[in-house]
């Protein structure tokens, strides 16, 4: 489901807030966030989290913007709700999200773009647990790459850089030689903390993205070439 037709709490892309892409700059690998970057899961995620927030007496409208781009366990822990088992609550939320993938859809153009990449030159770095990543990617008609970093793989989730650092390590490249594709503030901060340049995908955004980052509304028309073993973007 595209952000330009959906209710939610992220941002919408506008042409006048987009900046130029790093065309023709060489990169060793591409590191992709999943939710909001490869696929749009805003509506599905917010359905599940809204029920949980209501159950625990939280202000739903204020709470929902905080769930995107971070691990479920970190979101639950930050609420400081007395008498709950944080891990059990996070696990229950993840299971509910696995069971509710209605409306999850690939960002426009992403399938062709991913298919054009060398298999050993890209990874997914997501705050979702592996089972949820598998469920959402399947629902979106996308395939996970060989290197996937999920919530279970790191002790510190985004905005800490751990996931991107681990992905680069497993790909055998330096983080600074990678290009990170992200959508949420926590992930953008994580990519930058890893020392990598970041491009922001705005397809799932419901408000203008105003920071001075490279932005793209989707992957339509985005192409990649390989020169001297490096990935070269052409938009």
Work out the number of other CB atoms within 10 angstroms of the CB of residue 117. Answer: 16
- Asked about 33 being catalytic, the answer comes back as yes
Q: Minimal CA–CA distance to 181: which of 190, 169, 170?
A: 190
Burial tier of 177 (Cβ tally within 10 Å: 0-12, 13-18, 19+): middle
Active site (annotated) includes residue 74: no
- The DSSP call for residue 151 is G
Catalytic residue among 15, 16, 23, 35: 35
Q: Point out the catalytic residue in the list 15, 33, 91, 183.
A: 33
Across 6-30, b (16+ Cβ under 10 Å) vs e yields: bebbbbbbeeebbeebeeeebbbbb
Catalytic residue positions, numbered: 33, 35
């Amino acid at each position: 489901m595209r952000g330009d037709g959906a209710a939610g709490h992220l941002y919408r892309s506008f042409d006048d807030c987009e900046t130029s892409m790093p065309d023709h700059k060489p990169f060793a690998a591409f590191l992709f966030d999943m939710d909001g970057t490869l696929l749009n899961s805003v509506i599905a995620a917010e359905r599940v989290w809204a029920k949980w927030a209501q159950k625990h007496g939280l202000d739903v409208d204020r709470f929902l913007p905080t769930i995107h781009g971070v691990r479920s366990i970190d979101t639950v822990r930050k609420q400081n709700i007395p008498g709950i088992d944080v891990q059990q609550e996070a696990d229950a939320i993840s299971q509910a999200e696995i069971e509710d993938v209605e409306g999850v859809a690939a960002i426009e153009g992403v399938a062709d773009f991913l298919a054009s990449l060398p298999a050993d030159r890209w990874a997914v770095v997501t705050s979702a647990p592996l089972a949820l990543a598998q469920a959402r990617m399947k629902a979106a008609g996308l395939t996970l790459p060989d290197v996937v970093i999920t919530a279970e793989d790191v002790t510190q989730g985004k905005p800490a850089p751990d996931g991107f650092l681990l992905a680069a390590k497993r790909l055998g490249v330096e983080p600074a030689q990678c290009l990170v594709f992200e959508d949420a503030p926590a992930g953008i901060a994580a990519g930058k903390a890893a020392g990598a340049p970041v491009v922001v995908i705005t397809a799932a955004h419901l408000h203008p993205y105003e920071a001075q980052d490279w932005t793209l509304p989707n992957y339509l028309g985005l192409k990649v070439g390989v020169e001297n073993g490096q990935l070269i973007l052409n938009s």
